[in-house]
Every structure is written in C-alpha cells, then in structure tokens.
C-alpha cells in the first residue's frame, strides 16, 4: 500500500531496527518505546486491522503470536511476562492502519487503560 508507513518499513523505504524477518512477518522496535521492551510484529501482507482478518489468515496470525512469544522471551520477558496488544480503529487507539501486535515489557504495566 503506497502511503502506509509499515509497508514502507517492509520495503526498506523507511528504516527500522529489525528484530526478526521472514517471508510473511516482520518484527521491529517501536520508534517511540513506551517500556524498556517495546517492539511490533506485522504481517508483510497489508491488512488494515484485526477486523479485516479472514479465515485464510489463521495460520499467519497463529505464527505471529508464536513469534511474538519467542521474541518476548528473547528480549528478557520470559520470567516476568509482557503485554501483547492489538489496537483496532479509532476507539482502540490505532494510529497506523496496518495490523500490528505491540509487545511491551521490562516494567510493570498499569491496567485498565485510561
């Protein structure tokens, strides 16, 4: 998608600090970290948000969650845990319209959100 920031990160047009990449998935550190650990996982396919996932995407999203877990452990969150977040559309606080999982850790996080 031409004007999508995350598609530009996938293509390399916008630089990022990559954590992991394969044919379907990219993980990179958030440019504005909200915790000592804060990275994002995105599908390389441009899917706008979780509402637009189809049944065909089950394998992809399953892989993304497994990879999020693996990378969170690699970032030192295995013992104390982390928060895995998917914001969706305006009420969900989504600002980039390309599906992404936030992984935040390295400090205790408040709940519920404000």
Catalytic center residues = 100
CB 86 within 8 A of CB 100: yes
**Strand-strand pairing, 101-105 and 82-85:** antiparallel
The residue among 5 and 59 lying less far from ligand 5GP, judged by its C-beta, is 5
> Which of these segments, 27-35, 53-61, 71-79, 104-112, binds ligand 5GP (CB under 6 A)?
27-35
Q: Which does 16 bind (CB under 5 to 8 A by kind): Zn ion, ligand 5GP, none?
A: ligand 5GP
Q: Does 51 bind ligand 5GP (CB under 6 A)?
A: no
Tokens of 9: 């990160």
Q: How many Å apart are CA 42 and CA 101, to the nearest integer?
A: 7
The three-point CA angle 8-25-37 to 5° equals 85
Q: Does 75 bind ligand 5GP (CB under 6 A)?
A: no
CB 3 within 8 A of CB 97: no
Q: Which does 109 bind (CB under 5 to 8 A by kind): ligand 5GP, Zn ion, none?
A: none
Q: Does 95 bind ligand 5GP (CB under 6 A)?
A: yes
> Which of these segments, 24-32, 51-59, 75-83, 103-111, binds ligand 5GP (CB under 6 A)?
24-32
């Amino acid at each position: 998608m031409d004007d999508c920031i995350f598609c530009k990160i996938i293509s390399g047009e916008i630089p990022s600090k990559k954590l992991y990449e394969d044919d379907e998935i990219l993980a990179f550190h958030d440019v504005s970290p909200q915790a000592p650990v804060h990275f994002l996982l995105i599908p390389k396919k441009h899917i706008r948000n979780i509402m637009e996932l189809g049944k065909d995407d089950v394998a992809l999203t399953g892989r993304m969650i497994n990879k999020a877990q693996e990378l969170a452990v690699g970032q030192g969150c295995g013992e104390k845990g982390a928060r895995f977040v998917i914001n969706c559309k305006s009420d969900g606080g989504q600002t980039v319209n390309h599906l992404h999982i936030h992984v935040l850790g390295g400090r205790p996080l408040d709940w519920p959100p404000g």
